[in-house]
Amino acid sequence: MATLDDVRAICAEFPDVTETTTPHGAAAWRTKAGQVVWERGPRKADLAALAALGRTWPEGVVVGIRTDGLDGKAALLQTFPGTFFDTPHFDGWPTVLTELDGIDLDLLRETITDAWLLYTTASTRDEWLRAHGLG
């Protein structure tokens, strides 16, 4: 089980990540290239679209996390169907949603790391990978 404080701590480990707020006042973490992860509450349209599909919005805190394209998104949704989910709002967008109460901290860290690697500069990414014995 993870919390927004866990998201905050994970994001603080990466260079060039700034904590901001979304236009809806929710917490968000971004680089100069774009948003990596953000708190995502339901919108009226989300609730209506999910209801039409016979689904409901989760009770706990939900975050959106960028993915490596639509194939990366599909892979996460297929591999971890009880952990990641999607809404019609994000159809066609490289983003998955997860309820923090339902995700393992290691998987959250891995998913945010992958998102950050996509949204940082090549030099920062390469330096970070080398420093962590991954590049």
Asked if residue 22 lies in contact with residue 39, where contact means CB atoms within 8 angstroms, the answer is: yes
* Closest by Cα among 97, 107, 91 to 42: 97
- All domains of the chain in start order, with CATH: 4-124 (3.90.1150.30)
- Eight-state DSSP code of residue 60: S
Angle at 89 between CA 69 and CA 59, to 5 degrees: 105
What pLDDT digit, counting tens, does each position of 9-60 carry? 999 999 999 999 988 899 999 999 999 999 999 999 999 988 998 989 999 9
Across 17-45, b (16+ Cβ under 10 Å) vs e yields beeeeeeeebbbbbbeeebbbbbbebeee
| Residue 19 structure tokens | 């904590």
Rounded to 5 degrees, φ, ψ at 86 are -140, 160
What pLDDT digit, counting tens, does each position of 63-88 carry? 999 999 999 999 999 999 999 999 98
pTM, two decimals, is 0.93
How far is it, in rounded angstroms, from Cα 123 to Cα 88? Answer: 35
What pLDDT digit, counting tens, does each position of 97-121 carry? 999 999 999 999 999 999 999 999 9
Alpha helices in the chain (DSSP H): 4-12, 44-52, 69-79, 105-119, 122-131
Give the bridge partners for 57, in sequence order.
none
